[in-house]
Each structure stands twice: as structure tokens, then as C-alpha cells.
Structure 1
Amino acid sequence: MALQTTGLEFFYLSVDFFENDKILLVEQELGSRATLLVLRLLARIYHKGYFCRWGKDECLLFTRRLPEGCTADYVQQVVDALLERGFFSKVQYEKFGILTSESIQGHYFEAAQRRKRVEVRADYLLIEISKYKNLYVDGSNVGISTENVDMKTGNVNMKSQSKAEESKAEQKNEKDSSSFCSPEKKRIFAEKETFSSIPVDGKRRNTSGLVEALQQWGIGDDNLYKIVGYCDYGVIGHPIWKILADMRMSGGRIHQPLAFIWSRLRV
């Protein structure tokens, strides 16, 4: 039975990637082109999920889009070197003909936590997955998820109208008493209210990513969630993403991030 996997749009890359001993050794042995191939292999894997199949045919197809000089033989040499040094799991490759690793699986399952359902194969796994409640191992759920979340939109889908009404009632009670809560409870309330207000309109959003980015700039909760709502809850393509990118590239020249963000948003 073929396993259906859904890949990622972006993948994690450590700032220490180019200083990784395994990468440095492969580069020393096979040249700087090898590092480019590693990145392209990772992109291929995450595009498919937490592993990708690898054999002679896959190698030939992979080589078609590479720069001149990167032959199939050279690509396979790089893959073999990565397997020998443990960058990819040699056991899984020899047994199943796939490229994967513990770190790849960990990063993928972390990124896919907000999906409603992720299918995995038990014999492909290299890590403990009990904490991921949305994984279905060979068709069986590893845990009961408390939320039904669509990763692409970041929206929480209520399973029934009665549940939606119950949630609204709870939010009203929380709102009425929020002024008497501790700062931490107020933050939790504001976050819950924000995420429950995300429109169900089919637009792609990264609400949690926007919240995290604003928190990194020290934006307080009151202003943070105002900005999130103003920016259509982090809809992809909103000017806020360009503003945040400019801030990251500013070299520390922005000393009042809140004022800077609002000044750019209201242009």
C-alpha cells in the first residue's frame, strides 16, 4: 500500500549547518558542490514529507535539474558519503531505499503538528512520536488530539454548531473576568480570542508565525494582538511580512519596533 505524505512549504535549517562536521567532511572529500546537493536533497525530502525514496531512477531524475558537471555518479557519491557519516540513516536506506534521519523526522513532525492528520509508517520511524497527537501510524492514531486544526489556514474548525456555541459562551465568560486576571492569564485569553477570530475564508495564513515574530521584537501582548488583527491574522502576502523582513535586515538600527511597524502599516 502506497504511503501518502504531505510535504512542507519551508523547512528548518540550523545556523550551524555549514559548520556541521558531517557536512564539512563531505565537502572536504567531494568539493563545495556537495553542500549545495545536501540542501537540495533536504528540500526534496521535506517537499515529500519526512523521507524520500532513493534509488538509481530517483538519482537520475534528481540530477536532471542540477548544474553542469553534477553527474548521477557524483550525486550518488555525495549520498553515499552522507550515509556513511550518519547524516542520513544508513539502516533505513539499505532496508527500505529511503533517505531520512532522526533530525529530519523530528523537524517534520514538529512543523506538521497543527495538521489534522499525518500518516506515518511504523517501520520508517527513528524517533519517539507519542507526543504528536495527530500522527496515524499504519492507520492507527497515536493519541487523541484536542483540536482539529488546518495547518494551511491556521483555523480551528469546530466539529459541530453546539461546540461552537459552547466555545463562544466560554469566551464571553472569560472576557467578562479578564480584567481581574493575572498578566499571564490575560495573555492566554488574548491569544485564545485572537486565534478563535481567524476568518474561515480559504486564505493561507501564518498567524502563529506572525505572533512569534512580533514577540521576538518585544511587542507587548496588547499591541501584538492588535497588529495581528490589523494584518488579517498573518495572511500570506500582507505587507507586514515585508516590514518584518526589513527589520531583520536593519542591522539593529530600529530602536522602536512598535512605532516602526505602525508607521509602515499606515503608509
Structure 2
Amino acid sequence: MPRIKKRGLDYFPIDIDFIHNRIVRRLMKREGDSALAVLIEAFSYIYAGEGYYVRTGELFYEDLSANMYEKSSNDVKRIISLAAEYGLFDATLFSEHNVLTSAEIQRQYLFSTRRRTVSAIEPAFNLIPPTETVTSEPETATNTPENVTPGTHSIAQNSIAEHSTEYPPQDSPSGGPGGEAEKEEIFLEKEETSCSQTACTQPPKTGRTDRNTQRKEWTNAEIDRLQPPADGLQRNLEGLIYNLRSYHVPLPEQYAIICKSNFGIIGHPMWKGFGEIRESHGKIRQPGRYLLSLCNK
């Protein structure tokens, strides 16, 4: 008898700043601390069921309220409706189709199921822009659960910080001799050469001997195949890759950050850098360069 294909996830990661998220705090201030439990329960239903959405209705609200000590189904419905209104979930799909989902939830689902042979979002519910792609790989024989993603899931795009740090403006790119484009090429060459001398278990790419030799072009699949050394240290490589792609860090910089952070070792200053990037409200215009600067300290 063929094995039934699982659609949902075994678990989902939550951003460490989730409880401090501006939308979450606004809900908790209005509805009380139990609003947090309602949101966590809703995310559990989303990821455990279809994996990236759930249909709401009276039965859905009753099921959620059955696990609450202080909230009725009407209370749960009101909290979920407010969360969609505030932007934690997509308001259009919720109001028109009673569907609870978001673009970030869908990105997390595709990333977590990228090793499955079939992993797609229904076109009617798809919130991911057509120009954005999420890496998908065929499922291979492995002892690692297919949907284990010890990464960091950003529930909303808005930062909770009301203050930000000023960062020096970046020079505008220039393609002329000695311009910013050439400086970036030399910078990446230097970083990648340094990385090839670290504990990378993947064969280092061919280094450039002169400026007429083309530097290796990395792909998402090659980044995904990087493996940390078996030294027993605690890492979060998949979470690192997810965050780097969330900020659209160029692939050569992804490779450099992965190697220089010792494959996302826990406690590295680079992890704090992601929080500073979020709190900068876009003032850090080159997140990859900023993370590399933390790796080089």
C-alpha cells in the first residue's frame, strides 16, 4: 500500500522577536495576554494541516477556544479577525474566502518542504510574487525528517523597534574602471578566497588568479548542499540560509557568510546582526556586507 503523502509540517519555527512584534503587542494590549495563545494555536493549525493555510469558520473558532481557559469562540474569532486586519494574515483572502495565510507562512512552508517531490501553493491562495523563487529539491533518501527546519520564522515584516541607528550611505554602483562594481568584485574575491581556507567541507571553488578569470557563479542548489563539519558544535545552517534569502543576500555573499560564521554556529555575532538589520528599517541597504563585517570582527 503506498504511503500517504503528508502535507503539513511536524513543527514550525518562530522568530525570537515574535512576542515583541508590534502587531502582536497591539493585539495583546487590546485582548489580553491570552491573545498570544490564540495566535500560536492558529499557526499550529495552519502548519499542521495544509501546511500553509487553514479555512476558518465557526467550527474552527470552536476548536481553538476548546483549548483556551478564558476565551470563547467569539473571542477567538475577534482576535483572528483583528490579526488579519492588522496585517499578520492576508486580509483579502480572509475576508473573501475565510482563508488564513500570509506570504511569510507560504515562504516558510516551501522552504520546509523543499525536499519533497511535490510542494506547491494553490494559485488562488498564492501570495508570493511571480518574480520570487523558493528553492525546491527532489526528496532523497536521508535520515533527516523532510520538514525539519531549525530556522527562524519571521511572522511579520514590520519591525517592533521604534528607533533605528543611522548607517553611512552606500556609494552608488558604477561600472567604470575603478568604480563600485570593480570594488565589489575585488571584495567578494577576497572574502571567498578567505572562506576557502576555513573548515568548509565542500570543495572550494576555483579561485581567480587574475581579473580576466571569471569567478565561480553560485546557485541556490549548491548553497543548499553545503554541509557543516561533524564536530558536535550546535549550528543552525538551514535557519541561516533562510534568513539570508529573506534579505536577498547575493549568493557569493551567502557562501562567505556561511563559512565565516562556521556554518551558522549558535552565538555568533552574525545572528545579532539580523536583528539589527530588521530594526534599521531598510537603512542597512547591503545586509550581506553588513553581516560579513560582523564576521570579520
1:20 matched residue in structure 2: 21
Q: Could you list the per-position Cα deviations for residues 67-91 of structure 1 after superposition, in whole angstroms to 9, with x for gaps in the alignment?
A: 3221101101111110110111110
Contact kept, 8 Å, 1:83 with 1:90, in 2: the verdict is yes
User: If the length of structure 1 is used for normalisation, what is the TM-score?
Assistant: 0.52
Residue identity over aligned pairs, in percent, reads: 19
From the superposition, tell whether residues 102 and 5 of structure 1 become closer, same or farther in structure 2 (CA, over 3 Å): farther
Pairwise CA distance, 1:133: 5.4
Partner of 1:97: 98
Name the aligned partner's letter for residue 188 of structure 1: Q
Q: Is the 8 A contact 1:89 1:100 kept in 2?
A: yes
Quick check: which one's helix share is greater? Answer: 1
Gap regions ≥5 residues in structure 1:
135-146, 157-181, 196-208, 216-220, 225-243, 248-267
1:31 has 2:32 as partner: yes
Number of residue pairs the alignment of both structures matches: 169
**Larger RCO, structures 1/2 (Cα 8 Å, 6+ apart):** 2
TM-score, length-normalised on structure 2?
0.47
> 2:202 aligned to 172, 175, 188, which one?
188
Contact 2:114 2:138 in 1 (8 A): no
Higher-strand-fraction structure: 1
Amino acid at match of 1:115: R
The answer (yes or no) to whether the contact 1:92–1:98 under 8 Å persists in 2 is yes
Ranges of 4+ aligned residues in structure 1 off by more than 4 Å: 182-186
- Name the SS of the counterpart of 1:15 in structure 2: coil
What is the aligned-residue RMSD (CA, Å)? Answer: 4.1
Could you tell me which amino acid in structure 2 is paired with residue 21 of structure 1?
A: R
Asked if the contact 2:111–2:135 (Cα under 8 Å) also holds between the matched residues in 1, the reply is no
1:127-138 paired onto structure 2 within 5 Å: 127-128=128-129, 131-132=133-134, 134=136
CA distance 1:152–1:68, change in 2 (3 Å):
farther
Q: Which has the larger radius of gyration?
A: 1
Secondary structure of the equivalent of 2:120? strand
Superimposed CA distance per residue, residues 182-210 of structure 1 (whole angstroms, 9 cap, x where no aligned partner)? 657972149x9xx8xxxxxxxxxxxxx97
Shift of 1:22: 0.3
Structure-2 change in CA distance of 1:212 and 1:153 (3 Å): same
Give 2:92's aligned amino acid. V
Cα 1:152–1:39 shift into 2, 3 Å: farther
Q: 1:189 to 1:116 in 2, by over 3 A?
A: farther
> 1:71 — aligned with what?
72
Change (3 A) 1:85 1:149: same
Distance in 2 between residues matched to 1:58 and 1:33, nearest whole Å: 17
Q: What's the CA shift string for 1:211-240, capped at 9, x where partnerless?
A: 839x9xxxxx9xx9xxxxxxxxxxxxxxxx
Note the C-alpha offset of 1:41.
0.8
